[in-house]
Amino acid sequence: MLEHTEVILEQALALSPKDRAALVEELLASLDQPDPTVDALWAKEVEDRINAYEAGELEAIPAEAVFKKYKKS
């Protein structure tokens, strides 16, 4: 961590719990910025998968089967 980041962290930790929670919410919100390029790629992927399913080229698997397969024993 950079020195000035450590100073900011120290100052943030001195805040009240309510103010720290508000700061965390603001910081997290600043990271959640949409990326139009990524959104467009996902939209195309979704359309391609729907088209493949409707054309009989892609099989649907029930969510329960997927969860069961990857559930920890």
Is residue 47 domain-resident?
Answer: yes
Predicted model pTM:
0.52
Look at the chain and report how many structural domains it folds into: 1
Round to whole Å and give the CA distance between 23 and 10: 13
| CA dihedral sign, ordered 34, 35, 39, 42 | negative
Is residue 16 domain-resident?
Answer: no
Domain residue limits at 41: 36-70
Is residue 13 domain-resident?
Answer: no
Q: Are 49 and 41 in contact (CB under 8 A)?
A: no
Q: Are 32 and 40 in contact (CB under 8 A)?
A: no
Q: What is the mean pLDDT of each successive set of 10 residues along the chain, which is 73 residues long?
A: 92 97 95 92 97 96 92 74
Is residue 52 domain-resident?
Answer: yes
Is residue 63 domain-resident?
Answer: yes
